[in-house]
Chains A and B, each alone.
Chain A
């Protein structure tokens, strides 16, 4: 079966750095996505990785290792507004998105 694993919840301090990991086992691979979802709102796109390596976009970076079935989202200089759930999703061989359950990130002052 297909599976996406990510931690259920993480806590970090304002101004610090946090890394959210995602491991996957899917039938084929056509890219990995990270989305942010604030409570009661829709998911919004953060990043996309299809090749191995690091993609940097401002305070957020995403890394991919296809051989290890592994990705992480790195958030720097954390702000209170970063408190949200972060969803990892993989596009499989049928170009369908397989979603993880999400990681709830709690930022403390």
Chain B
């Protein structure tokens, strides 16, 4: 089934450790996004990429980095995790950034 896949589904991570959240889409969408979703807050954009080879900062980029080496993959890296990064992370993609976004199933990350 075509779509967008995230891994892992959930993770418990010790503070200070690094981790990469993986995201792969097979819809050939140009634009990809990383959001975090916290209770009582809307989805907040961490980083985005409008096309392979380019990335941009969103609303809450500090502590996170991304890369877009090809169209399909958009990994999110936490260099040194802190408890405030405990959240549900969603990867999304859209065609040219104009149409609706499609979401992965999410990664629930707990930093202890």
Contacts and interface: CB of A to CB of B under 8 A. Distances in A.
Nearest to A6: B42
A48 B100 contact: yes
Interface string B76-112: 0000000000000010000001101111111000000
A40 to B, nearest CB: 8
A87 B98 CA distance: 18
Contacts of B105: 41-42
A96 B103 contact: no
A43 B43 CA distance: 10
Interface in A78-109: 87, 89, 91, 95-102
Interface string B23-66: 00000000001010000111111001000000000100000000
Interface of A: 4, 30-31, 33, 41-45, 48, 87, 89, 91, 95-102
